[in-house]
Structure 1
């Protein structure tokens, strides 16, 4: 992460601020700058009430160019080309397990036992109506499956309650929640580590839906072409990234061991506060950090680009790959930016048979990698660039007949943080939702008779551009 920050500094894409208050000021400054199309990385030092050297970096990946660079993609390439390049990387990826080492920057400062103090860290209150200070969500939560021993990394939110106590909110269906439940069913506490500040590709791996049983460490190793160096946590034995900025180890106590603690509300990626409910505490057992640590601050915000690292690019590429196995006519996939990182996907296809457009949409709706809180699936023709909302809007307004082009699918995978859940469904623990499938493509059975578009053919356009190009340069 430090190398990425230095790249931003060299590019003139970094603003350093001193004296900001952890209580809302850092969060509001982050939101303000993230709302700009090309807002800079922010690096806070001398946070109010804290000595110099305990720093916070925000807005690391909130521009398209920085997100692409962090994923080792060409920053100025068209978005659909970035998706194609990521597809190639995924297709050729070989898992590389982490490499355990005995030393690393993370071990420069280690505190264990009664000496640990979370309040010695400048943990912000990010949003105006948050229920407290949150160490996440620019973090990775590390757990180990007690049966098979594989290590999972997930991106969760962690609320600080006092110097030695956290709560971690886990959404149902997530791998971290499933692993924790295994320990609890045995009457055991679940060892956990929260990593704050890690190299970009490793954090990208932690917030992506990797299949059950595959470690995000192995996936990240494949992305970077080399193993991730890890050190053994002094109190949990969990593998921790050797170059991480900060790690907090602890035990997720089984329900009833100690009284549950209030959790939330917290401003979530849906653009609304999620109230949650009381959660079992996490007893902190150690804090490790580098010299002059930098906490990665990545609060969910209602901004033009998903707060997570290029998730729209990565999810688009994986979805395209899933569809390609059954539908050779797919010409592009794009998860809409802005609003939420999950809400809608656009698929461009060259229709080969009647009903293919609906089959494509149902495949998207049923995949683990794509289904979570997905509200809209829009299918367009191959002449539409799914990354260009102008073109997609044209297709919606001219090729979609709402009476017969929109279908609703119910009982799909949702989440308690869904703001549209009715009070009755929430009380019943029913977090499912519906998805709208919108076929904004020419009807297959008469697409040959569909009116011709007024757009100039590519060949004619290119020939005339070449003849007159010099007059516009």
Structure 2
């Protein structure tokens, strides 16, 4: 296992295993990089690295699909695993377990280095020179409201008293060279911190970090508890503190090895229209909303910087790999803290974060004496739907452990044959609903409330599978395997 402390060493490692597609011809910055990246997701090709972008200073590069499925079929989750310092052949369930386990270990706080030792400050732009027009920011989809300056970068903010620092990913749209507008959801951590700045009537300092160490991008995109610092959690995963440097113009620390850092302040009113944007549910956007303005004041960057991007849409992209694993780890952590003997949690990539599978061991009834199957489903829903992360999940399936939840073919078989057409479900009415999940009606989005459900698919008596593994004597299977 190896922890990659900057984006470049990570790209080199992917390249060595044949998982980088070098695009050396010149590409138009409007749509070509995004369209190539989107196709790379859909055919599971190597991750595209663009070396020449029209209208952009020579040396600037774009990097697409940083944490999607690998082109290596023998290690499909290698990009996510390697980002987190895990072995490239790690399974999805192993990654979820690692993310959950790190929640219970002491955090390792970051360490500050001098600016002379920080590659992210090799070049500094101030005033009118600090313009987004210098950088290759493409349109993600042709129906979007603008060029999206953030799809895989880390937003760093902190509360006015400095006690809570939050690193997160949120979509941010370029307005012009000096302004961006970002989606700030009140219930999310960045929204809670922004609300504190609004209370005191002062614009919120922010840093938008493009291309930090891959673990930083990954952890920024998954849920961890409020008031916990992502930097400390990343240090736990890495086994060493993250190196940070003081930002040039604001009172924030930023990752020292980042490719690009944009510094400025966020307005205290929702004064600019953001969107539409094609989201993880797989559909192009169709509306916009008033969101705060991110004013660009200072930009620092490495020589020959790399700007990473995630082009969300139909499966499979970073939303369906990394973010889904983070949500599953969050669910697993809370259920085990509630003393429920959950064996695993998994969100199938092809469900676009609309299904969550909770896997129970065969002896769960012995571990929970006196609890019926219906009561267990109810309890699981009560625990999960109180958490912030589960506002994104409308459907939970409680399943047996006699199949591989990461194998979509087996998932479809189980859900098709074990979900009762009418009963065996626990429905939770009037749950929090936001517009990102695609399965609700307009009136539910307006009200911010809708139903969520836990489906009970467990078998009272386990049925043997009509399969090679369970349908033949062991000696017959072994003879066949020996002669295959």
Taking structure 1 as the reference length, the TM-score comes to 0.90
1:331 positional shift:
2.4
- Whether 1:190 and 2:196 are equivalent positions in the alignment is no
SS at match of 2:423: helix
SS at match of 1:403: coil
- Cα separation, 2, equivalents of 1:159 and 1:399: 44
Selected match of 1:402 from 399, 421, 428: 421
Change (3 A) 1:155 1:82: closer
Q: Which residue pairs with 2:408 in the alignment? A: 389
CA deviation map 1:327-363 (0-9, x unaligned): 55422221121342x3111112134131353145314
CA deviation map 1:89-144 (0-9, x unaligned): 444x3201111111200110011223211111111111011111111111111101
- Whether 1:440 and 2:440 are equivalent positions in the alignment is no
8 Å CA contact retained: 1:158, 1:169: yes
Selected match of 1:271 from 258, 273, 282: 282
Question: Aligned pairs, how many?
Answer: 459
- Cα separation, 2, equivalents of 1:390 and 1:81: 20
8 Å CA contact retained: 1:87, 1:321: yes
SS at match of 1:314: helix
- Cα separation, 2, equivalents of 1:418 and 1:330: 25
1:456 positional shift:
6.8
1:11 positional shift:
1.5
1:300 positional shift:
1.3
C-alpha RMSD over aligned residues: 2.4
SS at match of 1:27: helix
Q: How does 1:224-373 map to 2 (within 5 A)?
A: 224-255=238-269, 260-272=271-283, 273=285, 275-307=287-319, 310-340=322-352, 342-349=353-360, 350=362, 351-352=364-365, 353-354=371-372, 355-363=374-382, 365-368=384-387, 370-373=389-392
Q: How does 1:446-461 map to 2 (within 5 A)?
A: 447-448=460-461, 453-455=465-467
Change (3 A) 1:339 1:275: farther
CA deviation map 1:140-165 (0-9, x unaligned): 11101113532111101111112111
- Cα separation, 1, equivalents of 2:236 and 2:471: 40
Q: Which residue pairs with 2:49 in the alignment? A: 43
Q: Which residue pairs with 2:144 in the alignment? A: 130
Change (3 A) 1:314 1:423: closer
1:416 positional shift:
3.4
8 Å CA contact retained: 1:245, 1:295: yes
Selected match of 2:38 from 31, 34, 45: 31
- Cα separation, 2, equivalents of 1:275 and 1:96: 41
CA deviation map 1:382-416 (0-9, x unaligned): 32332233333333333332221233222223223
Q: How does 1:13-32 map to 2 (within 5 A)?
A: 13-17=19-23, 18-32=25-39
1:234 positional shift:
1.5
- Cα separation, 1, equivalents of 2:217 and 2:452: 29
8 Å CA contact retained: 2:179, 2:294: yes
Q: Which residue pairs with 1:62 in the alignment? A: 68
8 Å CA contact retained: 1:106, 1:289: yes
- Cα separation, 1, equivalents of 2:440 and 2:417: 32
Unpaired segments ≥5 residues, structure 2: 1-6, 70-76, 366-370
1:87 positional shift:
4.1
- Cα separation, 2, equivalents of 1:141 and 1:308: 21
- Cα separation, 2, equivalents of 1:40 and 1:410: 43
Selected match of 2:10 from 1, 4, 18: 4
1:452 positional shift:
5.1
Segments of 4+ moved more than 6 angstroms = 456-460
SS at match of 2:244: strand
Taking structure 2 as the reference length, the TM-score comes to 0.88
8 Å CA contact retained: 1:357, 1:379: no
Deviating more after overlay: 392-401 vs 41-50: 392-401
